[in-house]
Structure 1
């Protein structure tokens, strides 16, 4: 089989490997489609401190089960499945309280263990979720990105009365827009970014208002509009954002950090306590695949609005470079594996 392997930072090869055999409790997936994420780019460029090389990247992937290991019912062969990349122990404190995404022995496919940029991948049976026939292959491979929004919103518990501000109109910001408007029907979603084309994508995804803060003060603009966000999602994660979010938030607001920066940020505690703000963080997803599958079945979200490019896996370098460089036109990039 062919596998896309990062040998070391900035060295990507398409390597011939033996087809893997599923172990006890595992299934083998014949991969059909995979999505490129920022973390794949970070591993390729050597910016992920958790990865060990060589590594088959890819944690967003869809395919068909073609073999099962011991302990797995053979009736699963032939199932169309989307794969949850989060592998957890099931018995540590985090797992027991329903947060396997921060398991003390967390393994993520495509990061700590070989992922889905390969013609075949073996994964735990419980991580392979059956996809109903009414959900297309292209939508099935987009489930994992939407689980990030599902996980974030599960912390925030949005209501129809909320005014939500989202920093960043990248894939995570845009999946959040769709979830907030399509699933939670929040009162208003505002997206702030510095790329006009990305802001247009936000409008297409359902944002009620967009703000380009390239040359203006976001706080002044919101004050002028008499807007105090009750929910703020940081999907851009620049170190300066958290303090600004604290200053513009409504009293009793919720703030969620969707990613991370390794650089330090400085905040004033008084701004948090004087408004009694709640600050959350969100990592990966905690058993949110069934949630997003249900959203798709009910047509509450539309992944097609985010898919801008599709490449054959032999063009993977061009695909990653497009994802990295074309921020104006590129959102989600899919790879056709087989």
Structure 2
């Protein structure tokens, strides 16, 4: 079989590897589709601190179970499945309180262990969720990105009364916008970004007000519009955002942080306490796959709107370069196998 392997930073190759055999409790998946994520780019560049090399990348993927390991029922053969990349121990403190996404011995498929940019991939049976027939192949690889939105929304508990502000109109920001509008019924959603084409995508995915903060001062604009956000999501992860979000937030607002920036920022504790602001962070997902699969079945989200490009896995270098460099026309890139 062929696998997309980052041999070491800046070295990507298609490598012929032996067919893997599922271990006890595992299933083998014949991969059909896989989405490219920013973390794949980070592993390629050597800027993901968790990755070990060589590594088969890819954590957004789906396919068909074609083999099962010991202890797995044969009835799973032939199932169309999407893969949760979070592999946890099940007994540490975070796991015991329902937070396996921050397990003390967390492994992420495609980061800590080989992932889905391969013709075949073996994963724990419990990480493979069966898909209903009505969810088409081209949308299936987008289930995982929407679990990230589901995770942060579960913590923020949006309601129709909220006025939402989303920083960043990249793939993560857009999944949040779709969830806020389609699932939680938030009626006013402001999105800010520095790329006009991305703001247009945000509008197509449910945003009401668009702010190009490369030319418009966001605090001034919101003040002129009389907008005091009650729910803020940082999907851009720049060190200037959290201090600004705290200043802009309504009393009793909730702020959600996505991303892994290690840059320091200075925040004003008085502003947080005086307005009793809730600040939460979110990593990966806490078994949100059944929830997002149901969203898709109920047509509350539209994953296909995010797919702008599709490539064969044999064109992975071209696909990853496009994803990284063309932020004007590119949102989600899907590889076919």
Normalised to the residue count of structure 2, the TM-score between the two structures is 0.99
Residues 257-311 of structure 1: per-residue CA shift (max 9 Å, x gap): 0112111111111110110100000000000000000000000000111000000
Q: State the partner residue of 1:215.
A: 215
| Aligned counterpart, 1:105 | 105
- Per the TM alignment, residue 203 of structure 1 is displaced from its structure 2 partner at its CA by 0.5
| Matched residue SS, 1:200 | helix
For residue 35 of structure 1, report the CA deviation from its aligned partner. Answer: 0.2
Map of 1:231 onto structure 2? 231
C-alpha separation in 2, matches of 1:263 and 1:207:
29
Aligned to 2:19, the other structure's residue is in SS state coil
Which residue of structure 2 aligns with residue 286 of structure 1?
A: 286
- Give the Cα separation in 2 of the matches to 1:21 and 1:27: 9
Unaligned stretches of 5+ in structure 2?
none
Work out the number of aligned pairs and report it: 337
Distance in 2 between residues matched to 1:328 and 1:187, nearest whole Å: 27
Residue 7 (structure 1) aligned with residue 7 (structure 2) = yes
Partner residue in 2 for 1:17: 17
Distance 1:245 1:172 in 2: 18
Q: How far apart, CA to CA, are the structure 1 residues paired with 2:311 and 2:216?
A: 38
Q: CA RMSD in A?
A: 0.5
Quote how far apart the aligned CAs of 1:217 are.
1.6
Matches within 5 A, 1:238-317: 238-317=238-317
Residue aligned with 1:105, SS: coil
Q: Which residue number corresponds to residue 44 of structure 2?
A: 44
Give the match for residue 174 of structure 1. Answer: 174
CA distance in structure 2 between the aligned counterparts of 1:52 and 1:304, rounded to whole angstroms:
32
Match of 1:148 in 2: 148
Partner of 2:82: 82
Q: Does 1:62 align with 2:67?
A: no
Shift of 1:39: 0.1
The whole-number CA distance in structure 2 between the counterparts of 1:122 and 1:260 is 28
TM-score by length of 1: 0.99
Structure 1 segments, 4+ long, off by >6 Å, are none
1:57-112, Cα deviation, whole Å (9 max, x unpaired): 00000100000000000110000000000000111111111110000110000000
CA distance in 2, matches of 1:143, 1:9: 28
The alpha carbon displacement at 1:237 in A equals 0.4
SS in 1 for 2:334: strand
Whole-angstrom CA distance in 2 between matches of 1:85 and 1:134: 23
Offset of residue 215 of structure 1: 2.0
1:95 aligns to what? 95
Which residue does the alignment assign to 2:189? 189
How far apart, in 1, do the equivalents of 2:290 and 2:303 lie? Answer: 16
Unaligned segments of structure 1, at least 5 residues: none
